[in-house]
Homo-oligomer: A and B are copies of this chain.
Amino acid sequence: MHASCKPFINVIRPSGHAMKLLIAPAAFKGSLTALQAAQAIEAGWTKVFARHQLTLFPFANGGEGTAALLTQQRQGTLHHYEVRDPLGRPVQAALGLVDNGQTAVIDVASASGLHCLQREQRDPIHASSYGTGQLIRHALDLGVGKIIVGLGDSATNEAGAGLFQALGGRLFDAHGNLLGDPCQGGNMLELAQVFHIDLSEFDPRIAKTRFELACDVSNPILGADGATRVYGPQKGVAEDQMPAFEAALTAVAAVLHRDLGIDVTRRAHSGAAGGIGAMLMVACRASAFPGASYVMEACGLEQKVAEADLILTGEGQSDQRSAQEKVPLLVLDLARRQRKQAIMLSGAIRDASNLMLSWPAASMFATLTENKAWEDMLASAGADLEMCAYNLARTLKMARELPL
């Protein structure tokens, strides 16, 4: 007779059951790193559901946090090295070692990222990727066979010239003069004079190393959709400096083509991280990938979605803009394909009615609930996201009581 009751017992889950929640937000650009966003959601959620099993997946797509995420998700170890920051000052940058020491994971943001600078320090004329080159050297010293480089959130717009020099590459002008080390006060606009590339002192281990790039954007290095035009402004490129920067990147791309035989100007991702994409593709024969998809695969996110009961994702501002891979949309799609429930929590949602009808989320919520000045939004982003998650969790908890 108890047998006949069993189906019911299976259906009823005890209150406080350890539901599995996957928290996979992107960075809230300008206010929260992906990790901060995930932690804010966690903080709000656990105030309501203390026993849920939470998995934090701070979804980096090439930019800040990419090395840390891949290293953590693949059970590697993080190592820190003192290298040069974008302005040549010492900075501790991270390098992850995974696959039993066979693969290194770095991201350009760690040594050469915008986050290294105060807003008023943004200085694309002098900002160099030299420190990222030093990190690559450290990886080579560790004897890895493969280096994964996350491209995104760089403070630089110099086509990886600094990185190239750190690896032993040399750049000459038409008169045979060596272009100086940008971290010694060099001016990136002088790259417009570059005429010849010399690999005679380039680190020979690079040729034996496989490079994979996780790029947060697919833009090419030049043109109206290029690195300078689209991402220059957020790095401090003034409108009247655009032509000079474009000329510098054009010269580097031309020399890469002529001396090393590869034309990257039409390649997707060549404009990633201020053109570092282009340099790595040519000088290091790197393969470039869309960052979000790459990270998703490299971290086995599909499996984590499969193990979760509910997935939360989000970003600073959600809209229909479809030029780049949208992290939340990728997560939502992954959930949909596995018939998992997913909810989006974003800072703001533009044209929400259309988004709600077109994106595969069970529901979506904005942390913004009133008109706010930009600065106020950014200042309260963490607290607002925590409160939004708290509010959502309370809604779900309440739902248990309803005869829905």
Contact with B along A331-364 (1 / 0, CB 8 A): 0000000000101000011111100100000111
Contact with B along A370-382 (1 / 0, CB 8 A): 1110000000100
**A402 lies within 8 A of B341 (CB):** yes
**A398 lies within 8 A of B363 (CB):** yes
**A395 lies within 8 A of B395 (CB):** yes
**B397 lies within 8 A of A404 (CB):** yes
Task: For A353, list chain B residues within 8 Å (CB).
Answer: 380, 383-384, 387
Closest Cβ of chain B to A11, distance in Å, is 6
Q: Kindly identify which residue among B351, B356, B402 contacts A310, using a CB–CB cutoff of 8 Å.
A: B402
Q: Which of A12-20, A56-64, A156-164, A190-198 contacts B (4 or more CB under 8 A)?
A: A12-20
Q: A198 to B9, alpha carbons, bound, how many Å?
A: 79
Chain A residues with a Cβ closer than 8 Å to the other chain, count: 53
Chain B CB within 8 A of A396 CB: yes
* 4 A-B pairs with the lowest CB-CB distances in the bound complex, closest first: A399-B399, A366-B369, A1-B1, A8-B8
With contacts A19-B403, A392-B395 taken as known, whether A12 is within 8 angstroms of B13 at the C-beta atoms is no
Closest to A15 in B: B404
Work out how many copies of this chain go into the complex.
2
Closest Cβ of chain B to A102, distance in Å, is 39
Q: Kindly identify which residue among B341, B380, B384, B391 contacts A365, using a CB–CB cutoff of 8 Å.
A: B391
Closest to A1 in B: B1
**A402 lies within 8 A of B352 (CB):** no
Chain B CB within 8 A of A203 CB: no
Closest Cβ of chain B to A43, distance in Å, is 13
Q: A40 to B392, alpha carbons, bound, how many Å?
A: 22
Closest Cβ of chain B to A289, distance in Å, is 31
Chain B CB within 8 A of A400 CB: yes
Task: For A362, list chain B residues within 8 Å (CB).
Answer: 394-395, 397-398
**B352 lies within 8 A of A384 (CB):** yes
Chain B CB within 8 A of A245 CB: no
- Most chain B Cβ neighbours within 10 Å, of A1, A11, A391: A391
